[in-house]
Copies of this chain bind each other. A is one copy, B any other.
Amino acid sequence: MTATRVDGRTHDQLREVTIERGWSKQAEGSALISFGQTRVLCTASFTNGVPRWLSGKGSGWVTAEYSMLPRATNSRSDRESVKGKIGGRTHEISRLIGRSMRAIIDLKALGENTVVLDCDVLQADGGTRTAAITGAYVALADAVEWAREKKFIGQRSVPLVDSVAAVSVGIIDGEPMVDLAYTEDVRAETDMNVVATGRGLFVEVQGTAERAPFDRRELDSLLDLALSGTDRLAAVQREVLGLPADS
C-alpha cells in the first residue's frame, strides 16, 4: 500500500477539510463545508412544534433534505423541481442524513421542536453525502445552542449526546482508500459510506459492490480506514465549534 493517488494523497489521507461556520445570516445554524473541491452549504432551521404524527408526545424531530445545484457537477443536470419529482438518489441521501443526525440527538431533550437540515451541494467532486453529514452536524450544534439561548430548550438539556461525521471508503485496484474524489469513485470496485460518532460507534454502514462482490477481509480493512477518517473529522468539528480536542 505505498501507491500515491492522483492528487498525491496516501490511501488513508483525507482531502483538505474546511468548515466555514455561520456562513448563512438567516439560519439558526449553518456551515459551508469543503472536502477538497466538494462544497456543501448546510443550514439548520429551528422551529417550535413538531409534525402532527409526533404532536403531544414531548419529543422533538430532526429531518434533512439534500439537493444538488444543477451545475454542481461537470455537466449540467435537470433540476428536480423542473422534472416535478425527486430522484431515488436524492431521497436516499436525505434519509441517510436525517437518520445520522437523529442517532446522536436526544429527541426528548430537544422538546417539541423541529430542526430541518438543508444540505445543498454547491460543487461536487465525490463524497457529497459524507461532507453533508459532517457539515450538518456543525449546523445542528449551532442551532441547538441558538435555541438554548432563546430558551426554547432548557438550560440543562443536553440534546446532543455525541457528534457525528461521515466518510467514504472504497477499493480501487484492490487497494482500500479513504475519502474518494469523483474520479476515484467511478473506478472503485467497492464503495462504502460510513457514518460514525465522535466516540467511534457506527451509525450507518452502507457498502456496495459496484463491480465485484467483496469478501470479509476486504470489508474489515474498509471499516478500519473509515473509523480512522471519521475520527479525524470529529477532531475538525470540535475545533471549529471551539470544543476541547478530546471531548
Contact = CB atoms under 8 A, between A and B. Distances in A.
A51 interface: no
Instruction: Classify the interface of chain A: helix, strand, loop or mixed.
Output: mixed
29 contacts: A24-B123, A25-B37, A26-B72, A41-B69, A41-B122, A43-B69, A45-B76, A47-B76, A67-B79, A76-B116, A81-B81, A85-B86, A88-B88, A88-B94, A89-B95, A92-B92, A103-B209, A104-B213, A122-B122, A196-B213, A197-B213, A200-B215, A201-B214, A202-B207, A202-B215, A204-B206, A204-B207, A205-B205, A206-B206
Contacts of A88: 86, 88, 91-92, 94-95
A185 interface: no
Contacts of A203: 208-209, 213
Contacts of A71: 24, 26-27, 30, 43, 45, 116, 118
Nearest to A220: B220
Nearest to A85: B85
A208 B123 contact: no
Nearest to A83: B81
A74 B205 contact: no
In this complex, the member of A27, A74, A213 whose beta carbon has the largest number of chain B beta carbons within 10 angstroms is: A213
A94 B122 CA distance: 19
In this complex, the member of A83, A91, A104 whose beta carbon has the largest number of chain B beta carbons within 10 angstroms is: A91
Nearest to A197: B213
Contacts of A118: 69-71, 76
A3 interface: no
A216 interface: yes
Interface string A103-119: 11000000000001010
Interface of A: 24-27, 30, 37, 41, 43, 45, 47, 65, 67, 69-76, 79-92, 94-95, 99, 103-104, 116, 118, 120, 122-124, 162, 192, 196-197, 199-209, 213-216, 219, 223, 227
A4 B83 CA distance: 46
A35 to B, nearest CB: 14
A108 B226 CA distance: 33
